[in-house]
Amino acid sequence: MRIPACLVIGCSLAVSAIAQSTLVTPAGYAATEGTTNNVFPWNRATASTRIQFVVDSTHFTSQGVASPIIISQLRYRADAATTATTWAGGSWPNVRIDMASCPVDYLGVSTTFASNLGLDLATVYNGAVTVLGGVGNGTGIPGPWYITIPLTTPFVYDPSSGTDLTVDIYQDGTGWTGTSRAADHVSSAGVPGPLCSRVYNTSASALTATTGTVGLNYGIVTEFTYVPAAGLFPAFTAAPRTGPSGMTVQFTDQSFSSAPGGIVLHMWDLDGNGVIDSTATNPTFQYTAPGYYTVSLTVIDSQHPQQTLTRTNYIGVDLTSANFTTSISALTVQFTDTSLNATTWAWDFQNDGVVDSTVPNPTFTYPVAGAYNCKLTVTNAYSSDTRIANLGIGIIPLPPFGSTFTATTTRGYWFQTPTRFSVVSMQVPDEANFGLQNVALYRLASAPPVFGATATGGLEFVSTLQSSATPVPCAVSFDAGEFVGVLGACGDTTTCRNSYATPAGPYTSSVLGQPTTLTRFGTQFNLAVTNGANAYWQEPTGALSRVFLGVTAAAGLQYGTGTPSPYAAAPTLNTTALPRLGQTAQMTLTNNDSAAIGVIAVGFGRTALPTPFGTLLINSIAATDVINGGNLLTPGSYTHSFAIPNNPALNGFGPLNWQAACIVLPTGEFALSNATEWWLAN
């Protein structure tokens, strides 16, 4: 049935016509300072964030809310700070906030964001968020309310049902100007307890939370403005909201009426042409032509004036979506467009406001190694989209410097590598001009445990008391999916000067153009004392300590490409006891074939020489030896020990490069391992 929309007279939703009330969650903190603060989400500057706060329903019922309410505004409070800290304020032009009843209890929140969102999910705000400038009041006195967000779509919530409330904030950081202040938070140390939880990711488009970011009994101090839910309030959702021509969209009514009998009529204009397309409660509609579509729902009950909710450009068909991949070789990058429905391309390779290319798949050579933001804007006849990627050209990009943390402990970061690569240098920024640096590199068995728990092992490279003026040479390769730990600080055996980044928390970076996330990694020890043989942990919300890694594509052939054994993974070679003067160093060969002979070789210097057996990574071979006394190797790990003379003249001698080969008996082929480099030291 199609009814002319001109017969329907709509009224705007007027929450302000009813006396409004406010309450603060967690309960008990309206006039009390929170127990902690955090940069998530309102002090992230240009960094990206998606964060969910789940609030227990008792925060509302304990403050007199015993029936459904309509939430019309959110306010957030600045941290008081220990001193009268001043911030100038600023604005994000693009922030989205969704609200929903939470399908699970706040203590059972999931790292999958969608699992914390009920069927009443609604986008309540999509636009600019302004941070007011201000000054902290000092410890013990709550800070000012510095962010006020009137909801463009008020949300109906019934805490008397016992269902908790989820507030889902998307902030991509685009367009931020000004300076902000961390918001007031409450942790489990508070009394009364916060009865809240949070999960987050440092990508606004993420579907799951970052590892280790579930914070139970942790919440942000929030003021809710609300009125009793008496009246008629249209609301709806749609899925999917974007897609190709011909897609069918399911609309779900979420309207509320306090009238006996509820809503008696729904009238939907699903394509914005002024004609009613359906009177079903939850209609479907097929969109056959590209473009944006405005959707309106008018509802009628037995007591109140009819109400209409219109969402402009709510459905998008055949919209363009910007995306690209990269292939990096030295300073030259081949960009490959993978955008959807694009007809024009504008590439700004250094994000300096200058369009460098308009072809779909350009090649660009950067002037020097470093971190660059590459921007691609694509358009078609009715839409446009932009993607900005943080590329490391010869390095892994790091966040900017924030402060120097001086202690007897060492910090850094860890990440899971998205691609094969080699670390060729390490350097700690020396903002304090101390003159000496200490670095260590680990091949972790898995993501490190969260602080409180610790793990050990996996040390691949360590160098201490080196000049901080130049990068420390290094040669360690990693495969896709491996976990990498990086530690470094300037200093000596008595002090560590860690180069803390800003803002705190995980950082979206890349390895050879492939995205990854860097998360704080640390030890309670001084590298110059332990030489890297220490326990370590991760701290997801902590500031990274910056250590620049010089990286290249991993040398050698991909295992399984024609020449090596087809039966198993390649052999790997690792240093399991460091080459220190007067001690016994140890190499460990891990063999994965069922029947092989292991041979290990050492040479002076490194190379990358293709051979019929694979790529030889050592130069001027000085000696070879047979692992396991010449006996056959079955799958497992085998050690080779080497006594280091206690000769001071050998201090700093190197590089010595080791590489192993497994002669695979079923095929007669050679399977070459990675190479490992040694420098002798005290």
Span of 343-347, 474-478, 506-510 with lowest mean pLDDT: 474-478
pLDDT of 131 > 90? The answer is yes
pTM: 0.56
d(CA 300, CA 4): 16
Provide φ and ψ at 116, rounded to 5°.
-100, 10
pLDDT tops 70 at residue 12:
no
The answer on pLDDT for 14 being more than 50 is no
One DSSP character per residue, 651-679 reads: TT---EEEEEEEEETTTTEEEEEEEEEE-
pLDDT value at position 144? 93
- At 13 the pLDDT is 42
Q: pLDDT of 566-624, one tens digit each? A: 445 678 888 888 888 899 998 898 887 777 888 898 998 878 776 666 678 888 888 88
Q: Look at strands 307-317 and 242-243 and give their pairing.
A: parallel
Over residues 230-245, mean pLDDT: 88
* Residues making up the chain, counted from first to last: 682
Percentage of the chain modeled with pLDDT above 90: 54
Residue 664 has pLDDT above 80, yes or no: no
> Of 636, 637, 644, 657, which Cα lies nearest the Cα of 588?
637
Q: Whole-angstrom Cα distance, residue 356 to residue 351?
A: 10
Give the confidence band of 476 by pLDDT, cuts at 50, 70, 90: confident
pLDDT in tens, 195-229: 999 999 988 888 888 766 788 889 999 999 999 88
Query: What local confidence, expressed as pLDDT, does residue 15 receive?
Result: 44
Q: What are phi and psi of 113, to 5 degrees?
A: -55, -40
Q: For 537-570, what is each residue's pLDDT tens digit?
A: 999 888 899 999 999 887 543 444 443 444 456 7
